[in-house]
Amino acid sequence: MYERVIDLVTPLNHRSLFLFGARQTGKSTLLRHRFPDARFVDLLAADTFRELSAAPERLRQSLTGRETLVIVDEVQKLPSLLDEVHLLIERNKQLRVLLTGSSARKLRRGGVNLLAGRAWTRYLHPLVWPEYGPDHLDRVLAIGAIPSMLDSPRPWDDLRQYVGIYLAEEIRAEALARSIEAFSRFLSVAALMNGEQLNFTSVGNDAQVPPRTVREYFTVLEDTLVGYTLPPYQRTRKRKPAATSKFYFFDIGVAHAMQGVTQIVLGTPAYGRALEHLIANELRAYLSYRGSDLELTYYRSRSQIEVDFLVGDRVAIEVKGGGRVSERDAKPLHALGDDAPLETKIIVCSEPSERRLDSGVLVMPVRRFLEALWGDEIVRAGT
């Protein structure tokens, strides 16, 4: 089992929690390992689901009063149970309830208010650098960081099955899309747009669905935690920035499975895209787990000057998948530095050792960058 870095104990000292994460990110395994004495209510168990769906009050009635933590797994399967959870929290101020789910969409669609602020929200991401470590980096760049996939002897078969299960269970079972066939076509096109600016009209034309429906489908992917958008940096002083977000799938391997990619070779465009995706996911998870208010964005000017990532206003990161880094590769960072109060400029690359360009830009091998990021060197240096 991987030792996960997310801190759940500290927030549970203050509030009950929602823990959201895409399917198979390891929510149940983590909670059973970290809280072995908690009362565990598994809504994926058919008998438990039948009992509580028929009579939600049985959750409250089954407690002895001595419990300090109750875990309800996959709560989106039974949104009505939140009324009972609300009542439990109100009656027992010492009790904590931890509710997991792979989507908040069904809860919102049912008019549920997510306990009206009585529970905080945390997210479990796929495995990150401190959890999978340097020996697995190349494998993560190819098959992603879902724990079961990383450990699988046949990860590509499992990833294709994962995508199929997602379509069958998340979309068809919850009726999130009017046409599963149209959504399937959209998903194939969306996979090719991974890491690109959103263009609803272009995707709609390729998937044969209206742009308005494409917008709704991307919202479905976000709500079910299968993807996320990276907003554009807007606080420039001189150049007019782009106003369109980028879209990334939550896991590299899932994107590759939908794209039909089965091999990542150093120095190829596919490697560069995978490396950029990795850095995006690591930065996003880092800010989430550290509880940071800094926003993760990207920058592109109307004149097509582009920087892959900004953390707040101070740290800018460009990713270069192949070849030796030169001052030419640093030009976008310098151009952005004329427009934003940058303090740290980094190029993440596949070079073997760390160095600094004459212009001051730090060139960092990907392993060194991830060590520095999770060692709180990168973001701290820029804040």
Residue-wise pLDDT tens digits, 164-210: 877 666 666 554 556 778 888 888 899 999 999 999 999 999 999 99
Residue 346 lies in a domain: yes
Residue 3 lies in a domain: no
Same domain for 157 and 84:
no
Domain end position, chosen among 123, 147, 168: 123
Residue 339 pLDDT = 84
Give me the long-range contacts of 333-339 (CB less than 8 A, separation at least 24): 333/307, 333/361, 334/359, 334/361, 335/239, 335/301, 335/305, 336/236, 336/299, 336/305, 336/307, 336/310, 338/238, 339/236, 339/237, 339/238, 339/239
Domain end position, chosen among 103, 123, 143: 123
Same domain for 302 and 213:
yes
Domain end position, chosen among 106, 123, 140: 123
Residue 167 pLDDT = 67
Rounded average pLDDT over 22-38? 95
Same domain for 134 and 276:
yes
Residue 21 pLDDT = 95
- What is the helix (H) or strand (E) element at residue 59, kind and residue range? helix 57-61
Q: What is the CATH number of the domain that holds 91?
A: 3.40.50.300
Tell me: pLDDT of 105 over 80: no
Residue 252 lies in a domain: yes
How much of the chain, in percent, has pLDDT values that exceed 70?
93
Residue 340 lies in a domain: yes
Same domain for 226 and 354:
yes
The total of structural domains in the chain comes to 2
Residue 170 pLDDT = 65
Same domain for 144 and 56:
no
Same domain for 196 and 164:
yes
Residue 295 lies in a domain: yes
Residue 332 lies in a domain: yes
Domain around 302: 129-381
Report d(CA 109, CA 100) in Å as an integer: 17
Any idea which residue has 């699988």 for tokens? 152
3-class DSSP string for 217-286: HHHHHHHCCCEEEECECCCCCCCCECCCCEEEECCHHHHHHHHCCCCCCCCCHHHHHHHHHHHHHHHHHH
Report d(CA 287, CA 294) in Å as an integer: 7
Residue 354 pLDDT = 97
Residue 4 lies in a domain: no
Same domain for 253 and 374:
yes
Strand residues in the chain grouped as ranges (E): 16-20, 39-42, 69-73, 96-101, 119-123, 196-197, 227-230, 246-249, 296-300, 306-311, 315-319, 344-349, 355-356, 362-365
Same domain for 114 and 82:
yes
Tell me: pLDDT of 238 over 70: yes
Rounded average pLDDT over 76-84? 89
Provide the whole-model pTM.
0.94
Same domain for 195 and 137:
yes
pLDDT digits (tens, 9 = 90+) for 240-297: 777 899 999 999 999 999 999 988 998 899 999 999 999 999 999 999 999 999 999 9
Residue 2 lies in a domain: no
Same domain for 372 and 322:
yes
Same domain for 140 and 45:
no
Report d(CA 215, CA 213) in Å as an integer: 5
Same domain for 190 and 81:
no
